[in-house]
Structure 1
Protein backbone atom coordinates (compact mmCIF):
# COMPACT_ATOMS: atom_id res chain seq x y z
CA UNK A 1 0.00 0.00 0.00
CA UNK A 2 2.88 2.39 0.77
CA UNK A 3 4.46 1.64 -2.60
CA UNK A 4 1.16 2.16 -4.41
CA UNK A 5 0.70 5.50 -2.65
CA UNK A 6 4.24 6.57 -3.58
CA UNK A 7 3.66 5.67 -7.23
CA UNK A 8 0.35 7.55 -7.32
CA UNK A 9 1.87 10.58 -5.59
CA UNK A 10 4.71 10.67 -8.13
CA UNK A 11 2.37 10.32 -11.11
CA UNK A 12 0.05 13.05 -9.83
CA UNK A 13 2.99 15.38 -9.18
CA UNK A 14 3.94 14.98 -12.83
CA UNK A 15 0.36 15.81 -13.78
CA UNK A 16 0.63 19.01 -11.74
CA UNK A 17 4.08 20.15 -12.90
CA UNK A 18 4.14 19.10 -16.54
CA UNK A 19 0.61 18.67 -17.82
CA UNK A 20 -1.17 21.07 -15.42
CA UNK A 21 -4.14 18.71 -15.41
CA UNK A 22 -4.75 19.21 -11.70
CA UNK A 23 -3.66 21.72 -9.06
CA UNK A 24 -3.79 19.45 -6.00
CA UNK A 25 -2.25 16.06 -5.26
CA UNK A 26 -4.77 13.98 -3.25
CA UNK A 27 -2.25 11.17 -2.72
CA UNK A 28 -0.07 13.54 -0.71
CA UNK A 29 -2.60 13.71 2.14
CA UNK A 30 -3.47 10.01 2.33
CA UNK A 31 -2.41 8.57 5.69
CA UNK A 32 -1.44 4.94 6.17
CA UNK A 33 -0.32 3.02 9.25
CA UNK A 34 3.41 2.57 9.63
CA UNK A 35 4.83 -0.36 7.69
CA UNK A 36 7.76 -2.17 9.25
CA UNK A 37 10.26 -3.96 7.05
CA UNK A 38 10.37 -7.70 7.75
CA UNK A 39 13.25 -8.59 10.04
CA UNK A 40 15.89 -10.83 8.50
CA UNK A 41 16.46 -14.01 10.52
CA UNK A 42 19.30 -16.50 10.29
CA UNK A 43 18.55 -20.18 9.63
CA UNK A 44 19.70 -21.55 13.00
CA UNK A 45 19.68 -25.31 13.65
CA UNK A 46 16.49 -25.02 15.70
CA UNK A 47 14.67 -23.09 12.98
CA UNK A 48 15.83 -25.55 10.34
CA UNK A 49 14.59 -28.50 12.41
CA UNK A 50 11.15 -26.93 12.90
CA UNK A 51 10.87 -26.05 9.22
CA UNK A 52 11.94 -29.56 8.17
CA UNK A 53 9.10 -31.07 10.20
CA UNK A 54 6.60 -28.80 8.45
CA UNK A 55 8.10 -29.71 5.08
CA UNK A 56 7.75 -33.45 5.69
CA UNK A 57 4.15 -33.03 6.86
CA UNK A 58 3.25 -31.06 3.74
CA UNK A 59 5.00 -33.52 1.45
CA UNK A 60 3.07 -36.39 3.05
CA UNK A 61 -0.24 -34.55 2.63
CA UNK A 62 0.53 -33.71 -0.98
CA UNK A 63 1.52 -37.27 -1.78
CA UNK A 64 -1.68 -38.67 -0.21
CA UNK A 65 -3.75 -36.12 -2.13
CA UNK A 66 -2.23 -37.10 -5.45
CA UNK A 67 -2.15 -40.81 -4.66
CA UNK A 68 1.21 -41.16 -6.37
CA UNK A 69 4.86 -40.39 -5.87
CA UNK A 70 5.57 -36.67 -6.21
CA UNK A 71 7.55 -35.45 -9.17
CA UNK A 72 10.71 -33.44 -8.62
CA UNK A 73 8.97 -30.26 -9.78
CA UNK A 74 6.11 -30.83 -7.32
CA UNK A 75 8.54 -31.40 -4.45
CA UNK A 76 10.39 -28.18 -5.25
CA UNK A 77 7.10 -26.28 -5.33
CA UNK A 78 6.21 -27.60 -1.86
CA UNK A 79 9.76 -26.87 -0.66
CA UNK A 80 9.50 -23.25 -1.78
CA UNK A 81 5.99 -22.71 -0.37
CA UNK A 82 6.41 -23.95 3.22
CA UNK A 83 6.12 -20.92 5.57
CA UNK A 84 9.40 -19.66 7.01
CA UNK A 85 10.07 -17.92 10.34
CA UNK A 86 10.38 -14.63 8.45
CA UNK A 87 9.81 -13.55 4.84
CA UNK A 88 13.52 -12.72 4.80
CA UNK A 89 15.79 -15.61 5.81
CA UNK A 90 19.59 -15.71 5.73
CA UNK A 91 21.87 -18.71 5.41
CA UNK A 92 24.75 -19.23 7.80
CA UNK A 93 28.29 -19.13 6.34
CA UNK A 94 28.23 -22.94 6.34
CA UNK A 95 24.98 -22.97 4.37
CA UNK A 96 26.42 -20.52 1.84
CA UNK A 97 29.54 -22.66 1.41
CA UNK A 98 27.39 -25.75 0.86
CA UNK A 99 25.33 -23.97 -1.78
CA UNK A 100 28.35 -22.62 -3.66
CA UNK A 101 29.96 -26.06 -3.61
CA UNK A 102 26.76 -27.54 -5.08
CA UNK A 103 26.58 -24.78 -7.70
CA UNK A 104 30.24 -25.11 -8.70
CA UNK A 105 29.49 -27.37 -11.66
CA UNK A 106 26.46 -25.37 -12.83
CA UNK A 107 26.97 -23.13 -15.85
CA UNK A 108 25.83 -20.12 -13.80
CA UNK A 109 28.00 -20.83 -10.76
CA UNK A 110 29.96 -17.58 -11.14
CA UNK A 111 26.72 -15.59 -11.19
CA UNK A 112 25.62 -17.11 -7.88
CA UNK A 113 29.03 -16.32 -6.35
CA UNK A 114 28.62 -12.67 -7.31
CA UNK A 115 25.23 -12.48 -5.62
CA UNK A 116 26.18 -14.51 -2.52
CA UNK A 117 29.54 -12.85 -1.82
CA UNK A 118 29.42 -9.46 -3.53
CA UNK A 119 25.73 -8.73 -3.02
CA UNK A 120 24.73 -7.99 -6.60
CA UNK A 121 21.02 -7.77 -7.28
CA UNK A 122 19.61 -10.43 -9.60
CA UNK A 123 19.09 -7.92 -12.41
CA UNK A 124 22.62 -6.56 -11.98
CA UNK A 125 24.19 -10.01 -12.18
CA UNK A 126 22.12 -10.95 -15.23
CA UNK A 127 22.97 -7.60 -16.85
CA UNK A 128 26.73 -7.74 -16.22
CA UNK A 129 28.72 -7.16 -19.42
CA UNK A 130 32.19 -8.39 -20.32
CA UNK A 131 33.38 -4.91 -21.29
CA UNK A 132 32.75 -3.81 -17.68
CA UNK A 133 34.72 -6.71 -16.14
CA UNK A 134 38.49 -6.42 -15.58
CA UNK A 135 39.76 -9.80 -14.42
CA UNK A 136 43.37 -8.61 -14.24
CA UNK A 137 42.39 -5.85 -11.81
CA UNK A 138 39.76 -8.02 -10.11
CA UNK A 139 36.83 -5.65 -10.60
CA UNK A 140 33.34 -5.73 -12.10
CA UNK A 141 31.49 -2.60 -13.17
CA UNK A 142 27.77 -2.68 -12.41
CA UNK A 143 26.47 -0.30 -15.07
CA UNK A 144 23.57 -2.27 -16.53
CA UNK A 145 20.72 -4.47 -15.36
CA UNK A 146 17.98 -6.71 -16.72
CA UNK A 147 14.75 -6.64 -14.72
CA UNK A 148 11.22 -7.87 -15.31
CA UNK A 149 8.18 -5.84 -16.24
CA UNK A 150 5.48 -8.40 -15.62
CA UNK A 151 7.11 -11.33 -17.39
CA UNK A 152 9.00 -9.36 -20.05
CA UNK A 153 12.73 -8.74 -19.40
CA UNK A 154 13.73 -5.08 -19.61
CA UNK A 155 17.30 -3.83 -20.06
CA UNK A 156 18.33 -0.54 -18.48
CA UNK A 157 20.63 1.35 -16.15
CA UNK A 158 20.90 0.49 -12.42
CA UNK A 159 18.04 1.67 -10.21
CA UNK A 160 19.94 4.58 -8.57
CA UNK A 161 23.12 6.58 -9.05
CA UNK A 162 24.68 4.73 -6.10
CA UNK A 163 23.81 1.41 -7.73
CA UNK A 164 26.06 2.31 -10.69
CA UNK A 165 29.33 1.17 -9.16
CA UNK A 166 32.50 -0.90 -9.44
CA UNK A 167 32.77 -3.97 -7.21
CA UNK A 168 36.02 -5.59 -6.10
CA UNK A 169 36.32 -9.35 -6.68
CA UNK A 170 38.09 -11.99 -4.61
CA UNK A 171 40.55 -14.37 -6.27
CA UNK A 172 38.18 -17.34 -6.24
CA UNK A 173 35.47 -15.31 -7.97
CA UNK A 174 37.98 -14.11 -10.58
CA UNK A 175 38.95 -17.75 -11.18
CA UNK A 176 35.27 -18.69 -11.47
CA UNK A 177 34.74 -15.95 -14.06
CA UNK A 178 37.78 -17.09 -16.05
CA UNK A 179 36.36 -20.61 -16.09
CA UNK A 180 32.96 -19.26 -17.09
CA UNK A 181 34.49 -17.34 -20.00
CA UNK A 182 36.16 -20.52 -21.28
CA UNK A 183 32.86 -22.40 -21.01
CA UNK A 184 31.09 -19.61 -22.86
CA UNK A 185 33.71 -19.73 -25.64
CA UNK A 186 33.06 -23.47 -26.04
CA UNK A 187 29.32 -22.81 -26.23
CA UNK A 188 29.95 -20.18 -28.90
CA UNK A 189 31.87 -22.68 -31.02
CA UNK A 190 29.12 -25.26 -30.60
CA UNK A 191 26.40 -22.76 -31.56
CA UNK A 192 28.16 -21.60 -34.72
CA UNK A 193 26.10 -19.13 -36.74
CA UNK A 194 23.23 -19.37 -34.23
CA UNK A 195 25.34 -17.54 -31.63
CA UNK A 196 24.15 -14.08 -30.56
CA UNK A 197 26.98 -11.75 -29.57
CA UNK A 198 25.07 -9.94 -26.83
CA UNK A 199 28.14 -8.99 -24.82
CA UNK A 200 26.66 -10.16 -21.53
CA UNK A 201 28.74 -12.23 -19.11
CA UNK A 202 25.89 -14.63 -18.38
CA UNK A 203 23.86 -15.82 -21.35
CA UNK A 204 21.87 -18.78 -22.59
CA UNK A 205 23.53 -21.53 -24.63
CA UNK A 206 23.42 -19.45 -27.84
CA UNK A 207 24.61 -16.13 -26.38
CA UNK A 208 21.31 -14.40 -25.71
CA UNK A 209 20.65 -12.55 -22.43
CA UNK A 210 19.17 -14.58 -19.60
CA UNK A 211 15.62 -14.18 -18.37
CA UNK A 212 15.85 -13.17 -14.66
CA UNK A 213 13.27 -15.76 -13.59
CA UNK A 214 15.37 -18.52 -15.13
CA UNK A 215 18.16 -17.62 -12.70
CA UNK A 216 15.77 -17.84 -9.73
CA UNK A 217 14.40 -21.20 -10.89
CA UNK A 218 17.88 -22.73 -11.13
CA UNK A 219 18.71 -21.29 -7.72
CA UNK A 220 15.79 -23.05 -6.03
CA UNK A 221 16.66 -26.32 -7.75
CA UNK A 222 20.27 -26.18 -6.54
CA UNK A 223 19.29 -25.33 -2.97
CA UNK A 224 16.71 -28.12 -2.93
CA UNK A 225 19.14 -30.69 -4.33
CA UNK A 226 21.64 -30.13 -1.53
CA UNK A 227 18.98 -30.05 1.21
CA UNK A 228 19.35 -26.44 2.32
CA UNK A 229 16.53 -24.51 3.99
CA UNK A 230 14.92 -22.17 1.44
CA UNK A 231 15.78 -18.53 0.96
CA UNK A 232 14.84 -16.18 -1.85
CA UNK A 233 17.54 -15.43 -4.36
CA UNK A 234 17.43 -11.80 -3.18
CA UNK A 235 18.10 -13.02 0.37
CA UNK A 236 21.63 -13.94 -0.76
CA UNK A 237 22.14 -10.17 -0.87
CA UNK A 238 21.17 -9.95 2.81
CA UNK A 239 23.58 -12.80 3.47
CA UNK A 240 26.39 -11.04 1.60
CA UNK A 241 26.00 -7.97 3.81
CA UNK A 242 25.99 -10.12 6.95
CA UNK A 243 29.05 -12.06 5.79
CA UNK A 244 30.99 -8.88 5.10
CA UNK A 245 30.15 -7.36 8.48
CA UNK A 246 30.94 -10.63 10.29
CA UNK A 247 34.32 -10.61 8.52
CA UNK A 248 35.01 -7.14 9.94
CA UNK A 249 34.40 -5.13 6.76
CA UNK A 250 33.65 -1.47 7.45
CA UNK A 251 29.97 -0.54 7.09
CA UNK A 252 30.80 2.18 4.56
CA UNK A 253 32.55 -0.37 2.34
CA UNK A 254 29.55 -2.72 2.64
CA UNK A 255 27.23 0.14 1.65
CA UNK A 256 29.27 0.97 -1.46
CA UNK A 257 29.61 -2.68 -2.42
CA UNK A 258 25.84 -3.15 -2.29
CA UNK A 259 25.19 0.14 -4.07
CA UNK A 260 23.14 1.87 -1.38
CA UNK A 261 22.72 5.61 -1.00
CA UNK A 262 23.30 5.55 2.77
CA UNK A 263 24.97 3.26 5.27
CA UNK A 264 21.94 3.65 7.56
CA UNK A 265 19.76 1.84 5.03
CA UNK A 266 22.41 -0.88 4.72
CA UNK A 267 22.60 -1.38 8.48
CA UNK A 268 18.84 -1.34 9.10
CA UNK A 269 17.74 -3.42 6.12
CA UNK A 270 20.41 -5.80 4.92
CA UNK A 271 22.30 -6.97 7.96
CA UNK A 272 21.65 -9.95 10.23
CA UNK A 273 23.66 -11.06 13.23
CA UNK A 274 24.95 -14.60 13.00
CA UNK A 275 24.65 -16.46 16.34
CA UNK A 276 28.38 -17.15 16.49
CA UNK A 277 29.18 -13.46 15.94
CA UNK A 278 26.73 -12.44 18.66
CA UNK A 279 28.30 -14.95 21.08
CA UNK A 280 31.80 -13.72 20.26
CA UNK A 281 30.69 -10.12 20.93
CA UNK A 282 29.20 -11.18 24.28
CA UNK A 283 32.40 -13.00 25.28
CA UNK A 284 34.56 -10.02 24.26
CA UNK A 285 32.42 -7.66 26.32
CA UNK A 286 32.57 -9.92 29.38
CA UNK A 287 36.32 -10.40 28.95
CA UNK A 288 36.84 -6.62 29.04
CA UNK A 289 34.99 -6.35 32.35
CA UNK A 290 36.81 -9.38 33.78
CA UNK A 291 40.16 -7.83 32.92
CA UNK A 292 39.19 -4.66 34.72
CA UNK A 293 37.98 -6.68 37.71
CA UNK A 294 41.33 -8.45 37.98
CA UNK A 295 43.10 -5.10 38.18
CA UNK A 296 40.65 -3.79 40.76
CA UNK A 297 41.54 -6.62 43.14
CA UNK A 298 45.10 -5.33 43.57
CA UNK A 299 44.39 -1.62 43.81
CA UNK A 300 41.70 0.41 45.52
CA UNK A 301 40.10 2.84 43.11
CA UNK A 302 39.02 5.36 45.80
CA UNK A 303 40.83 6.22 49.03
CA UNK A 304 38.23 6.82 51.68
CA UNK A 305 38.98 9.27 54.51
CA UNK A 306 39.39 7.87 58.00
CA UNK A 307 36.56 8.67 60.42
CA UNK A 308 37.10 8.62 64.14
Structure 2
Protein backbone atom coordinates (compact mmCIF):
# COMPACT_ATOMS: atom_id res chain seq x y z
CA UNK A 1 0.00 0.00 0.00
CA UNK A 2 2.86 2.36 0.83
CA UNK A 3 4.24 2.03 -2.73
CA UNK A 4 0.81 2.05 -4.34
CA UNK A 5 1.18 -1.61 -5.34
CA UNK A 6 -1.89 -2.74 -3.41
CA UNK A 7 -5.07 -0.67 -3.39
CA UNK A 8 -6.69 -2.35 -0.44
CA UNK A 9 -5.52 -3.90 2.81
CA UNK A 10 -6.94 -7.41 2.63
CA UNK A 11 -6.35 -7.92 6.34
CA UNK A 12 -9.39 -5.73 7.02
CA UNK A 13 -11.55 -8.40 5.36
CA UNK A 14 -10.53 -11.01 7.93
CA UNK A 15 -12.40 -11.65 11.12
CA UNK A 16 -10.29 -12.13 14.23
CA UNK A 17 -11.14 -15.38 16.01
CA UNK A 18 -12.08 -15.04 19.65
CA UNK A 19 -9.68 -16.83 21.94
CA UNK A 20 -10.64 -18.73 25.02
CA UNK A 21 -10.94 -16.85 28.27
CA UNK A 22 -7.79 -17.06 30.35
CA UNK A 23 -7.74 -18.96 33.61
CA UNK A 24 -8.54 -16.44 36.35
CA UNK A 25 -5.71 -15.94 38.81
CA UNK A 26 -6.15 -16.52 42.51
CA UNK A 27 -4.10 -16.53 45.67
CA UNK A 28 -4.01 -18.58 48.85
CA UNK A 29 -5.21 -17.00 52.05
CA UNK A 30 -2.81 -17.10 54.99
CA UNK A 31 -4.70 -20.06 56.49
CA UNK A 32 -4.58 -21.92 53.16
CA UNK A 33 -0.88 -21.10 52.74
CA UNK A 34 -0.08 -22.56 56.16
CA UNK A 35 -2.14 -25.63 55.27
CA UNK A 36 -0.28 -26.06 51.97
CA UNK A 37 3.11 -25.77 53.68
CA UNK A 38 2.13 -28.34 56.29
CA UNK A 39 0.72 -30.78 53.73
CA UNK A 40 3.87 -30.59 51.60
CA UNK A 41 6.29 -31.14 54.50
CA UNK A 42 7.02 -34.80 53.81
CA UNK A 43 7.03 -34.59 50.01
CA UNK A 44 9.85 -34.09 47.51
CA UNK A 45 8.16 -30.82 46.58
CA UNK A 46 8.47 -29.28 50.03
CA UNK A 47 11.51 -27.12 49.23
CA UNK A 48 9.99 -26.03 45.93
CA UNK A 49 6.69 -25.05 47.58
CA UNK A 50 8.38 -23.16 50.42
CA UNK A 51 10.76 -21.25 48.14
CA UNK A 52 8.05 -20.35 45.65
CA UNK A 53 5.57 -19.19 48.28
CA UNK A 54 8.04 -17.30 50.49
CA UNK A 55 10.19 -15.64 47.78
CA UNK A 56 7.75 -15.21 44.89
CA UNK A 57 10.17 -16.72 42.37
CA UNK A 58 8.62 -17.77 39.06
CA UNK A 59 8.23 -21.49 38.45
CA UNK A 60 10.54 -21.26 35.40
CA UNK A 61 13.15 -19.55 37.58
CA UNK A 62 13.02 -22.25 40.26
CA UNK A 63 13.33 -25.03 37.69
CA UNK A 64 16.57 -23.42 36.48
CA UNK A 65 17.97 -22.60 39.94
CA UNK A 66 21.37 -24.16 40.61
CA UNK A 67 23.17 -24.76 43.89
CA UNK A 68 25.98 -22.39 42.96
CA UNK A 69 23.40 -19.59 43.08
CA UNK A 70 22.31 -20.52 46.61
CA UNK A 71 24.02 -19.22 49.76
CA UNK A 72 22.52 -20.67 52.92
CA UNK A 73 24.95 -18.98 55.31
CA UNK A 74 25.54 -15.43 54.10
CA UNK A 75 28.22 -13.35 55.80
CA UNK A 76 27.31 -11.70 59.11
CA UNK A 77 30.73 -10.01 59.33
CA UNK A 78 30.40 -8.21 55.99
CA UNK A 79 29.58 -4.50 55.94
CA UNK A 80 26.66 -4.41 55.52
CA UNK A 81 25.93 -8.02 56.63
CA UNK A 82 24.99 -10.40 53.82
CA UNK A 83 21.98 -12.60 54.63
CA UNK A 84 21.41 -16.11 53.23
CA UNK A 85 20.16 -15.60 49.69
CA UNK A 86 19.44 -16.99 46.24
CA UNK A 87 20.54 -15.39 42.99
CA UNK A 88 17.59 -15.59 40.60
CA UNK A 89 19.60 -15.00 37.45
CA UNK A 90 18.38 -17.69 35.07
CA UNK A 91 15.21 -19.38 33.88
CA UNK A 92 14.26 -22.24 31.58
CA UNK A 93 13.36 -19.77 28.83
CA UNK A 94 15.23 -19.90 25.52
CA UNK A 95 18.85 -18.92 26.11
CA UNK A 96 18.44 -19.27 29.86
CA UNK A 97 17.54 -15.61 30.36
CA UNK A 98 15.06 -14.36 32.92
CA UNK A 99 11.80 -12.87 31.68
CA UNK A 100 13.13 -9.28 31.76
CA UNK A 101 16.38 -7.55 32.73
CA UNK A 102 14.92 -6.52 36.09
CA UNK A 103 13.83 -10.09 36.72
CA UNK A 104 17.49 -10.81 37.45
CA UNK A 105 17.61 -10.29 41.18
CA UNK A 106 19.17 -11.59 44.39
CA UNK A 107 16.66 -12.40 47.13
CA UNK A 108 17.29 -12.71 50.86
CA UNK A 109 15.96 -15.99 52.23
CA UNK A 110 13.49 -16.23 55.10
CA UNK A 111 14.62 -18.73 57.73
CA UNK A 112 11.93 -21.17 56.65
CA UNK A 113 13.46 -21.21 53.17
CA UNK A 114 16.95 -21.82 54.55
CA UNK A 115 15.68 -24.80 56.54
CA UNK A 116 13.79 -26.19 53.55
CA UNK A 117 16.81 -25.86 51.25
CA UNK A 118 19.08 -27.58 53.76
CA UNK A 119 16.60 -30.46 53.79
CA UNK A 120 16.47 -30.35 49.99
CA UNK A 121 20.27 -30.67 49.80
CA UNK A 122 20.29 -33.69 52.12
CA UNK A 123 17.44 -35.30 50.18
CA UNK A 124 19.28 -34.81 46.90
CA UNK A 125 22.44 -36.40 48.29
CA UNK A 126 20.45 -39.50 49.23
CA UNK A 127 18.91 -39.65 45.77
CA UNK A 128 22.33 -39.25 44.16
CA UNK A 129 23.63 -42.23 46.11
CA UNK A 130 20.55 -44.30 45.30
CA UNK A 131 20.80 -43.48 41.57
CA UNK A 132 24.46 -44.45 41.37
CA UNK A 133 25.75 -44.40 37.80
CA UNK A 134 22.38 -43.32 36.42
CA UNK A 135 22.68 -39.94 38.16
CA UNK A 136 23.00 -37.02 35.72
CA UNK A 137 24.82 -34.15 37.37
CA UNK A 138 23.09 -30.89 36.53
CA UNK A 139 23.69 -28.79 39.61
CA UNK A 140 19.96 -28.09 39.77
CA UNK A 141 18.38 -27.47 43.15
CA UNK A 142 15.11 -29.05 42.03
CA UNK A 143 15.68 -32.08 39.83
CA UNK A 144 14.31 -35.54 39.19
CA UNK A 145 15.42 -38.54 41.23
CA UNK A 146 18.24 -39.06 38.72
CA UNK A 147 19.32 -35.41 38.59
CA UNK A 148 17.68 -34.38 35.32
CA UNK A 149 15.69 -31.18 34.75
CA UNK A 150 12.04 -31.17 35.76
CA UNK A 151 9.31 -31.02 33.14
CA UNK A 152 6.57 -28.43 33.85
CA UNK A 153 3.83 -31.06 33.69
CA UNK A 154 5.69 -33.18 36.26
CA UNK A 155 6.08 -30.15 38.55
CA UNK A 156 2.35 -29.47 38.30
CA UNK A 157 1.46 -33.11 38.99
CA UNK A 158 3.89 -33.48 41.91
CA UNK A 159 2.76 -30.15 43.37
CA UNK A 160 -0.87 -31.25 43.38
CA UNK A 161 0.05 -34.59 44.92
CA UNK A 162 2.08 -32.82 47.59
CA UNK A 163 -0.82 -30.60 48.69
CA UNK A 164 -3.67 -33.07 48.23
CA UNK A 165 -4.25 -33.27 52.00
CA UNK A 166 -4.10 -29.51 52.59
CA UNK A 167 -7.11 -28.44 54.61
CA UNK A 168 -9.37 -25.97 52.83
CA UNK A 169 -7.58 -26.40 49.50
CA UNK A 170 -8.76 -28.37 46.45
CA UNK A 171 -5.41 -29.45 45.02
CA UNK A 172 -6.83 -29.95 41.54
CA UNK A 173 -7.71 -26.26 41.30
CA UNK A 174 -4.23 -24.92 42.03
CA UNK A 175 -0.99 -24.69 40.05
CA UNK A 176 2.59 -23.87 41.14
CA UNK A 177 2.45 -20.40 39.56
CA UNK A 178 -0.30 -19.40 41.98
CA UNK A 179 2.19 -19.64 44.83
CA UNK A 180 3.75 -16.51 43.34
CA UNK A 181 0.35 -14.82 43.29
CA UNK A 182 -0.05 -15.83 46.92
CA UNK A 183 3.34 -14.29 47.79
CA UNK A 184 2.17 -10.96 46.38
CA UNK A 185 -1.17 -11.18 48.15
CA UNK A 186 0.36 -12.02 51.55
CA UNK A 187 2.86 -9.16 51.33
CA UNK A 188 0.17 -6.72 50.24
CA UNK A 189 -2.13 -7.85 53.06
CA UNK A 190 0.69 -7.17 55.51
CA UNK A 191 1.35 -3.61 54.38
CA UNK A 192 4.43 -4.04 52.17
CA UNK A 193 4.58 -1.13 49.67
CA UNK A 194 3.83 -1.84 46.03
CA UNK A 195 7.31 -0.59 45.03
CA UNK A 196 8.96 -3.20 47.24
CA UNK A 197 6.70 -5.98 46.01
CA UNK A 198 7.50 -5.00 42.42
CA UNK A 199 11.25 -5.31 43.08
CA UNK A 200 10.88 -8.64 44.84
CA UNK A 201 8.92 -10.25 42.01
CA UNK A 202 11.28 -8.84 39.37
CA UNK A 203 8.94 -6.50 37.52
CA UNK A 204 10.22 -3.57 35.47
CA UNK A 205 7.74 -1.20 37.11
CA UNK A 206 4.91 -1.04 39.62
CA UNK A 207 2.52 -0.66 36.67
CA UNK A 208 3.38 -4.20 35.58
CA UNK A 209 2.81 -5.52 39.11
CA UNK A 210 -0.55 -3.77 39.32
CA UNK A 211 -1.60 -5.08 35.90
CA UNK A 212 -0.55 -8.68 36.53
CA UNK A 213 -1.57 -8.93 40.17
CA UNK A 214 -4.45 -6.47 40.32
CA UNK A 215 -6.58 -9.03 42.22
CA UNK A 216 -3.84 -9.64 44.77
CA UNK A 217 -2.86 -6.01 45.46
CA UNK A 218 -4.91 -4.46 48.23
CA UNK A 219 -6.34 -0.92 47.86
CA UNK A 220 -4.41 0.34 50.91
CA UNK A 221 -0.69 -0.47 50.80
CA UNK A 222 1.62 0.41 53.53
CA UNK A 223 11.73 -6.23 52.58
CA UNK A 224 10.44 -9.38 51.65
CA UNK A 225 12.36 -11.96 53.77
CA UNK A 226 11.81 -10.08 57.03
CA UNK A 227 8.11 -9.73 56.31
CA UNK A 228 7.70 -13.42 55.46
CA UNK A 229 9.50 -14.47 58.65
CA UNK A 230 7.03 -12.32 60.58
CA UNK A 231 4.01 -13.56 58.64
CA UNK A 232 4.86 -17.24 59.21
CA UNK A 233 6.28 -16.67 62.71
CA UNK A 234 9.54 -18.45 61.92
Map of 1:257-296 to 2, 5 A cutoff?
Answer: 257-272=200-215
- Map of 1:163 onto structure 2: 103
* 2: CA distance, partners of 1:198 / 1:234: 23
Secondary structure of the residue aligned to 1:261 is coil
Deviations 1:182-224 (A, max 9, x none): 1111111112222111011011111111112211111222333
Counterparts in 2 of 1:31 and 1:266: CA distance versus 1, 3 Å: farther
**Residue 142 of structure 1: which of 81, 88, 99 is its match?**
88
Given that 1:239 and 1:272 are in contact with CA atoms closer than 8 Å, whether structure 2 keeps it comes out as no
With the length of structure 1 as denominator, give the TM-score of the two structures: 0.57
Given that 1:241 and 1:270 are in contact with CA atoms closer than 8 Å, whether structure 2 keeps it comes out as yes
Secondary structure of the residue aligned to 1:106 is coil
Q: Which has the higher contact order (CA 8 A, sep 6+)?
A: 2
- Map of 1:187 onto structure 2: 127
Determine if the alignment matches structure 1 residue 237 to structure 2 residue 180.
yes
- Map of 2:136 onto structure 1: 196
Secondary structure of the residue aligned to 2:138 is coil
Deviations 1:133-174 (A, max 9, x none): 111121111112125xxxxxx661112111111111100110
Secondary structure of the residue aligned to 1:90 is coil
Counterparts in 2 of 1:155 and 1:192: CA distance versus 1, 3 Å: farther
Q: Gaps (5+ residues) in structure 1?
A: 1-25, 39-85, 148-153, 282-308
Secondary structure of the residue aligned to 2:179 is helix
Larger Cα Rg: Structure 1 or Structure 2?
1
With the length of structure 2 as denominator, give the TM-score of the two structures: 0.74
Map of 1:1-308 to 2, 5 A cutoff?
Answer: 87-137=24-74, 138-147=84-93, 156-227=96-167, 228-229=169-170, 230-272=173-215
Q: Gaps (5+ residues) in structure 2?
A: 1-8, 75-83, 221-234
| Cα deviation, residue 271, structure 1 | 4.8
Deviations 1:41-82 (A, max 9, x none): xxxxxxxxxxxxxxxxxxxxxxxxxxxxxxxxxxxxxxxxxx
Number of residue pairs matched by the alignment: 197
Secondary structure of the residue aligned to 2:144 is coil
| Cα deviation, residue 132, structure 1 | 0.6
- Map of 1:299 onto structure 2: none
* 1: CA distance, partners of 2:189 / 2:208: 18
Considering only aligned residues, what root-mean-square deviation do their CA atoms show, in Å? 2.9
